[in-house]
Every structure is written in C-alpha cells, then in structure tokens.
Chain A
Amino acid sequence: KAGVTQTPRYLIKTRGQQVTLSCSPISGHRSVSWYQQTPGQGLQFLFEYFSETQRNKGNFPGRFSGRQFSNSRSEMNVSTLELGDSALYLCASSSQGFGVTEAFFGQGTRLTVV
C-alpha cells in the first residue's frame, strides 16, 4: 500500500509570507503527527491529529497551525514566516498514535525562508 505522501517536497518562501504543507497518511491510518527537524535540534513535535481532532500540541507559537480532514489528510500552515522557520517538516501517520503502534514518516517538505 502507498506510504505517507507529503507535498510539496521543496518550498522557498519570503519572510512574512504564509505557507501550507500537505500530508496524506497511509490508507486506514487515522493519526497524523507533524514534526519540525532542524540541525542540532532533532525532531520537534508540532501537533497530532486523530479523526479530525487535535489531541496534542507541542511548544510552538500560534503561527503554526494544522487541521485534519475527514479522509485523514492533514495540512499544516505557518503564517508570517520567519527565517528560523527554515527546516524539514515531517509528517507521520499511524493507526492509533505514537506509543501505541508503529508510525510511518513521509519524506518531508524542505522549507526555506529567505
């Protein structure tokens, strides 16, 4: 079956703009999590959605938001982009959520803010 699909793969935006990233989970998976990966910081948890409800949120400013649709696809939005938002954004899906079942990651979206 198809894996986790993230689009776009690469993105260049200007400071102050906003961006929307998309994630299509593995078919049948209802949990989608988003992570930010930056050099030296590892993967930092952004938020997790399950059946269209945000169940958990990491320690990121309100400029970072997300949502999940009825087909489990998820989007994350970053408004008023800052240079420090340049990172690899990873999406992961699982049937129930981390810590319960194995989660599968997409290839990520590389966001560069200039």
Chain B
Amino acid sequence: TQLLEQSPQFLSIQEGENLTVYCNSSSVFSSLQWYRQEPGEGPVLLVTVVTGGEVKKLKRLTFQFGDARKDSSLHITAAQPGDTGLYLCAGTPNDYKLSFGAGTTVTVRA
C-alpha cells in the first residue's frame, strides 16, 4: 500500500494541450516533492512545496500544495513533447525517508 496515490496512472495528450496530475494522501506531510523520470534515468527533482496552500511556478509547470498538506497537483500548460516522462510525487513522513507515489506516465504527441 502506497502512502501517496497518484492519478491518473497514464495520460496521453496532443502538443499544446494542458494537463493536470494529482497526488493525494490521508497523511499530512511536512513537504511534498515532484520528480520527473525519463526511461533509463533516475528521478530528477522539479520542485519542493512546504507551506499549505503554496503555489510554485516553474516555466509552464504549476505546482500546488493543498491547504491541509495532504495533497498536491502539477499542472502543465501548453504541453510539449519534451514534457513526456514519468511524474512522481514524494513526501517525507520524517526527515529523510522519501515515500513515492506510483507515478503518472505522461505522453505528449507532436
């Protein structure tokens, strides 16, 4: 059983469309992180959100942390083929042990 549930599991969209990926938990996290992983590579950190209600923007990516610090979302505007990858959310119930969701596989078709 995973602490963090991600939805949807798979997402395939056309270049230029928008998409949102969700990460939910029944537990409260001190912070949540979003990673992107490409085939044959390790996950790479995109952002860390630490404050309930926080919104962070990274170019076309917008990350939101829920007010209760139990959920988060990742929104991509005008997706490009280069955004294709596995998006993982992760949280730390303690200071060091990251717990990952199962991930959302995003495919952006040209």
- Asked if A and B are interacting partners, one says no
